[in-house]
Copies of this chain bind each other. A is one copy, B any other.
Amino acid sequence: MVSERGLDVLRVIVQDYVASREPVGSKSIVERHSFGVSAATIRNDMALLEEEELIAAPHTSSGRIPTDKGYRVFVNQLADLQPLSPAQRTAIEIFLGSSADLDQVLGRTVRLLSQLTHQVALVQYPSLSRSRIRHVELVRLASDRVMTVLITDTGRVEQRLLDVIADLDEEFLSQLGTRLNSTLGGVGLVEAADRLARLADQFPVERAPSVDLIATALIEQVLANRQDRLVMAGAANLVRTEEDFSGSIYPVLEAIEEQVTLLRLFGEMEPDQNGFSVSIGKENAAFGLGETSVLATGYATSGGEVSRLGVIGPTRMDYSNNIAAVRAVARYLSRLLGED
């Protein structure tokens, strides 16, 4: 069984290793921290920690580095979430202070988060599964091309290009647009899909194919809305921490650029009682991210829904600071986008 002091030793090993990227030896521990015991005693504790697989030695007779399991214990016990520095708080205010386009807000958020944590930051677009349709607009771009725009009451806008049969004159399109808005306005997405499916019946037979085409596109659009999107920033930070990876960071960057992977990862992470999730090292192996850790939490969107945001980086990261940063940014973003 690992003693109280043993856990303290684990903590300083994690801290020193994260700070220096050097395996931590018993001697440097007693030098830098005041344990009041000798190096030999620390060595005994370290032997215990190694038995529990919380730390490991890269080679016989070198210092120790934390294992994934060690990081996990460290994070779980991490009670003292250091508050952000005043400079960091100011950065959040400045970056997110002024109101703007939703895209811009999320873009700024993700850049901010990557700067605060020095990691790759991710923000999921607000999901809108519970939202209602606000407005539908059909825009004729060319004789055989139409753009459909869907606006929901949660502030999401979706657009889609569509090739249509050439018989669609401007007048009919505008008539169809009016009809769509009266049929769908204020209606939930699932119900809307239903109504769209029955739409063609209400038009003259010769119009049915065109209407059906547009209705099908809109249904797709409505349902595809569950497919979420991500914005990412700070890929350069991954390069900076390249040495923390055993091989090339190429596959890691590739996995991170694959949105589907990350969305699945976000989805499968178990939040703790505070809604915060930490996934460490091998826990992400299934996603090709076995050497990275992911920190994520939810933020409130205008639909009363929760989307997620977080950072991803090498397992050797400053969990304390990064968790605090992710939390703070999520809180601020919730205030900005959420319902009051």
Interface residues of A (CB under 8 A from B): 99-105, 134-135, 137, 139, 141-145, 147, 149, 151, 153-155, 157-163, 221, 233-236, 239-240, 248-250, 253-254, 257, 302, 336-337, 339-340
Contacts and interface: CB of A to CB of B under 8 A. Distances in A.
Contacts of A101: 158-161, 221
Contacts of A147: 102, 155
Contacts of A161: 99-102, 105, 155, 336-337
Contacts of A154: 141
A250 B239 contact: yes
B137 A134 contact: yes
B235 A144 contact: no
B155 A157 contact: no
Q: How many copies does the complex hold?
A: 2
Contacts of A155: 139, 141, 147, 159, 161
Nearest to A301: B141
A93 to B, nearest CB: 15
A250 B102 CA distance: 29
**A161, A163, A336: which has the most chain B beta carbons within 10 Å?**
A161
17 contacts: A99-B163, A100-B160, A101-B158, A134-B137, A135-B139, A139-B151, A141-B153, A141-B154, A143-B340, A144-B340, A145-B302, A149-B151, A233-B257, A235-B257, A236-B257, A239-B248, A239-B249
Contacts of A257: 233-236
A248 B337 CA distance: 38
B159 A137 contact: no
Contacts of A139: 134-135, 151, 153, 155
Contacts of A221: 101
A249 to B, nearest CB: 6
A149 B141 contact: no
- 6 tightest CB-CB pairs across the interface, nearest first? A236-B253, A147-B155, A101-B160, A236-B254, A235-B235, A141-B302
Contacts of A254: 236
A142 B149 CA distance: 22
A118 to B, nearest CB: 12
A192 B155 CA distance: 23
A145 B105 CA distance: 14
Given A101-B158, A101-B159, A235-B235, 7 more contacts: A99-B161, A100-B160, A135-B139, A149-B157, A155-B161, A235-B253, A239-B249
Given A134-B137, A151-B139, A340-B144, A159 B102 contact: yes
Contacts of A250: 236, 239-240
Contacts of A134: 137, 139
A141 to B, nearest CB: 5
B163 A151 contact: no
Contacts of A248: 239-240
**A104, A143, A239: which has the most chain B beta carbons within 10 Å?**
A239
A304 to B, nearest CB: 11
